[in-house]
Structure 1
């Protein structure tokens, strides 16, 4: 859908196309221009180069959309910005150096960051990242403390095959990744890799492109180091997480001491304790069942043995048992004995 720019004044920006390494300064966007009009004028500015399929991005490589409801809408571009032109499926990497920060609370929000839905948190982080482009900053904000990430990774490492197929299924991981990053596709990977990336997405909500770049870089470095040719792995995702928290000085970090975080922490602990108790109870029940089965089998075996012995000693129904007592008197019929 095409939308008309809501900016009343003309804006003058700089255009740069990395594909051809060509720059156009003083490109003017008039108030009457719609998004498609801008694309036509951009192509005209780079006459002689194939720009049939192009995308406009800010200096951090974040796409600028023709949608005023998007946190990265083109209509919000201001004078003085440097707009990057992506050709085809080319991924535009950020120009400024990456800075990583811990971002566990924000007083500007109507409610604590931790209580926001994934969608609201994602859009808020995208808005912040878009605002960073104006002063030409490239900041990635970590939205989970290191302790939560380590806890999630530990649970993943302990998962058996059944839990991997249920809790960490491809569908479950894709659902988490999609809600955190709002992406349509993800790397083709095994269950453990996707589950690890899902954990990573929770810590980098709304900042998928930067993380995809880092995952690819980690994969290429591992390929060169180990001489392998596989795709992105769980090892790569863990390497990226460690790198990010190290850069932010957030290794070992926890949620700030606030009333909300304290309450949510207690709920999480109670839930964990409940799940642990249920697992212990289920395990104990299984052991009791197994013990009962063993006792039943043993009792059955003993009964069978006893029945076997009794079966051998049993008197046939067609025989009368004779007495073994030699002193037993002869049994006389009642009445007087008649003499002949």
Structure 2
């Protein structure tokens, strides 16, 4: 199995491949994002060369290291992060939690929907996640993300599902951390989420290349991978990735319409059924399990990919709400002016 990763080795950030219990670094200066730009086929070739060289007894900075001796980082620096909402069960529970309304809106079925989140606050497994200022309802979201790589001759625009499938370089686990009280306020303005989401996201522990999953797609392109999440050792949610409303290839194709997907783009599946606290709050009629607190440990696992773990840190003490100014509005006329 080819796992593409980034890690901190004594203060130096390296990229390379994880095989067994060893981390095999690329040549100094070469990054995971360089592999994405090279494409999957070239990456697989480089992985064979890198592992063979490492097995040949290389020394110094090119020598493989025990995975336990390095600190895994987020496996790439994303170019952009689009997060879909592709699980019907999650939408149903969240609509009760946030809007107090039953059922799933008809618009959800018409086409996949996504929002853009912050690529600059992505964390890796093992990192501490501080609670953002003003948040009293910290939550997690259990997801899988597809990572885009280069396909020779393609600009990544207006792709068919078949073409989009070839743009998927690999898959990783995604935790879309959420400040539910901030999110709820923002979305009443019919825009967002913004500060309810942009403070943190976790990707990891590595990218498993797409070829490893080719024989696991069903006839419609879905991947039946088991997903689960635990808080402080207690399982909170469990689902199958194949319960998405659309396979990943269709999500990538939709994102590319009248736009582009490029190497380094990350596309999240959205939260799986029972994959976050807020969905359970909607179904339970109370905040059980309770919002995350400092010291809580969140572990997500996905079959065929691995496990990510994060601990909740301290809350930043600050006030971030700034009220709009109350100012007299100038009179204005609306519509076309005759003779204008």
Could you state the TM-score of these two structures normalised by the residue count of structure 1? 0.25
Structure number with higher strand proportion: 2
Query: Relative to total residues, which structure has the larger helix share, 1 or 2?
Result: 1
Higher relative contact order (CA 8 A, sep 6+): 2
Q: Which has the larger radius of gyration?
A: 1
